[in-house]
Structure 1
Amino acid sequence: MGSEQNPQPPSTATPHRPATQETSIAGTAHRWLLDQLGALWALLTDRPISPYAASVLRIGYGLLYLVFLLREFPHRDEIWGPGSPWTPALAQQLFDQTGWNSILILSDSRAYFELCYVMAIVTSALFMLGWRTRAMSVLFAVVVTSFHARSIFMTDGGDNLILLMALYLVLTACGRRWSLDARRTRLKTAPAGDAPEPVRSLSAQQLQDARATLTTVVHNCGILVIAAQVCFLYGSAGLYKIQGPTWGGGTALHYALNLELFQPWPALSHLVDEYPMVIAIASYVTVLLQVAFPFVLFGRLKYAVLAVLLGMHVGIAVLLGLPLFSGAMIVADAVFLPDRFYASLPRLWRRVAQRTVVSPSVPARPAGSGCVPPQGRPVAPGSMHGAVPARKDATPATRLVSEQS
């Protein structure tokens, strides 16, 4: 038998990709990565983002903590003072475990505590007004931290968010809008608007530019951290709710409304509880909005979500008696509104104020007084200019023009 040649199987190897194509793909990915890094760097360094929102946070949390301190003024000794059940010795034992600290336990003197309380009220007011905001933001963070740590078991959960926001606001330039600092800067620059700028040396100019860039980067990072904190808060709260049977069954709000600890107006709580369908819908909407909140921030749907969340927090404040928590959440949501919204508020306020001003009523013109003799020079005989019809409410400039015509 003759030798038979075995047929070779067809090659299944994939064709080798040309090196130029791989280089082109790698170059495209490299350029895309550089573009993204450049866009991120420009976002952090070009200009401060959301200066109006930062000012709203400053005003909101300063006012909220000021009202909180004034409301608890009659009970200050039982909550934070020397007469508190949570004594300074117990607080010190807790600080040894947690690493916290408070200026309130530096002395057991009642005079020292009263001085600290008054200084806390003054600091909150000055921080809200934006007076020396850089220094006041640090002092406000110290005040909130000290009062929060002194009696951590004596208050509700609203001050937890205020504590975080007070620490974050130290990083931001929250006094550039709607503050006494901004007013002082505007008054200083107004007279020197036409004056030539002073000539600076190269090193001084570079130092000033570096300082401005560093301030912008720190401010933008602070704003982004605040936004991330709020997103994490809503997302984690929604994911935690869906793990329990009460929120999935739509009965969670029913149980909350029947807790005596959260019934500032029992009659109102019982009235709302008589509508189980409304309770169930509110439970489902709450979970849905909290879970979806981080994913709707880059579209116009966020405005509707923020409006519903505003109503939800108002309901929590009224029905459950948690105004501090609701106020802290409402102020935190303000960071997601654009600056053009806040910049339009003064114009909208002026427009509404102009419409509400009642204009003085013009007296009715008596019958037969449509023409009055011209004022000023006498009319020459035979002149074509006769009596000029005039209104009683005509201004002197209008009458002068009509006389000279």
Structure 2
Amino acid sequence: MLRSPGRLSGIVTDRPVSLHAAAVLRIGYGLLYLAFLLREFPHRDEIWGPGSPWTPALARQLFDQTGWFSVLTLSDGQVYFEFCYATALVTSVLFMIGWRTRAVSILFAALVASFHARAIFMTDGGDNLILLMVLYLCFTACGRRWSLDARRARLRASPEQVDSPSSSPGPSNLRHQLLPAQRLLSTALHNCAMFVIAAQVCIVYGSAGLYKVQGGSWENGTALHYVVNLDLFRPWPALSLMVDSHPLLIAVATYMTVLLQVAFPFVLFSRLKYIVLTMLLGMHLGIAFLMGLPLFSGAMIVADAVFLPDRVYQLPGAWWRRTFRPAGAGGAGGWRRAGNSAAPPQPGSVLAYEGDCGFGRATTDRISRRAAPQIDAVP
């Protein structure tokens, strides 16, 4: 029992977890918000601009009561609004591709919060979860994988740039001494933020399922019948009528929705979670097409990605490396399929390296290019 606090501290501070999942969240929410802004571009003035029925004056009155703030209400001018909108579009792209992620994530969160607060009664509510997630992502290391920051770190990590620490006092020596503390703090913040993201998704599913259990229409299996007959959620009335013509399908979908949402927090530590996540993916796709809520469905699908381990995201890359290898010295260059080689590579040595170390990855890449296929590099 005395070792439990130390073990828990080690889990939080040893190494950053779910770096690939954090990258998926960054890419997913950056892409979703970019698509959202582009979709509403023709209607931007009516939703967020000076021409909105929810005027900037009304928004400021609401902020006085709620404590919210939006940069869009700093000026009522059209030019200022267009500048803010263009900034939001550019920031969404930069956040998605992972350019200077630490700083851009804070700017992106501030812009998402500003747009959300400015038109809180004008959108469909799908941006609520996006707002929460981008705030949490500010504390994660979501730019360490699949980003321009990760590419820049790999290019900088070369043997020529790795020198022994300077013994003379100075700013560089002080920075070198502070690096372990900086890494420890960054790892702890990242791991705690990823845990909060996972807990937030569990709360969303659990509370939604428990609220549904209390409803009579969900209890008797008719809730979705009323949903598909609401004019606000019928982008394709013919499709809604076709689905509503199958009462058994409606009842099964109603009960399965409640069951999946209530059971979700309890299956996370078993292999059943992959089945549940697949079924939830189908449920969200159905919501997107049948109810016309693509932003909400996309936000939930991206949030579910936090529960997939990094090895799942590494499978495509591992398959590619096993299937395609660099051509040998006697080849014509480029890439070739490993199975089409005239002389299959002989089994060689295995080089194990620290996957989170930029210098280790860069050095291993150089060794692999010169010694492949005799050496198989494994992180």
**Would you say same fold, with TM above 0.5?**
yes
Name stretches of at least 5 consecutive residues in structure 1 with no aligned partner.
1-31, 360-405
Cα drift, residue 139 of structure 1 = 0.4
Aligned to 1:139: 107
Cα drift, residue 37 of structure 1 = 1.1
Is 1:49 the counterpart of 2:17? The answer is yes
Matched AA of 1:113: F
Q: SS where residue 214 of structure 2 aligns?
A: coil
- Is residue 233–residue 292 contact of structure 2 (8 Å, CA) maintained in 1? yes
Q: Which aligned pairs between 1:1-400 and structure 2 lie closer than 5 A?
A: 32=1, 34-190=2-158, 192=160, 196-199=163-166, 204-348=175-319
Root mean square deviation of aligned Cα: 1.9
Cα drift, residue 192 of structure 1 = 3.3
Aligned to 1:403: none
For 1:111 and 1:295, locate their aligned partners in 2 and report how far apart those are by CA, in whole Å: 51
Specify whether residues 352 and 144 from structure 1 end up closer, same or farther in structure 2 by C-alpha distance, changes over 3 A only.
Answer: farther
Paired positions, count: 324
Name stretches of at least 5 consecutive residues in structure 2 with no aligned partner.
326-334, 338-379
Q: Which has the larger radius of gyration?
A: 1
- Is residue 30–residue 96 contact of structure 2 (8 Å, CA) maintained in 1? yes
Q: Could you list the per-position Cα deviations for residues 265-288 of structure 1 after superposition, in whole angstroms to 9, with x for gaps in the alignment?
A: 111111011111111111111101
- Is residue 69–residue 114 contact of structure 2 (8 Å, CA) maintained in 1? yes
Aligned to 1:363: none
- Compute the TM-score of the two structures, normalised by the length of structure 1: 0.77
Q: Could you list the per-position Cα deviations for residues 190-244 of structure 1 after superposition, in whole angstroms to 9, with x for gaps in the alignment?
A: 3537x54444678654411111101111111100000000000100000000000
- Is residue 324–residue 336 contact of structure 2 (8 Å, CA) maintained in 1? no
Matched AA of 1:70: L
Q: SS where residue 122 of structure 2 aligns?
A: coil
Specify whether residues 320 and 358 from structure 1 end up closer, same or farther in structure 2 by C-alpha distance, changes over 3 A only.
Answer: farther
- Compute the TM-score of the two structures, normalised by the length of structure 2: 0.82
Identity of aligned residues (%): 68
For 2:151 and 2:158, locate their aligned partners in 1 and report how far apart those are by CA, in whole Å: 11
Q: SS where residue 316 of structure 1 aligns?
A: helix
Q: SS where residue 192 of structure 1 aligns?
A: helix
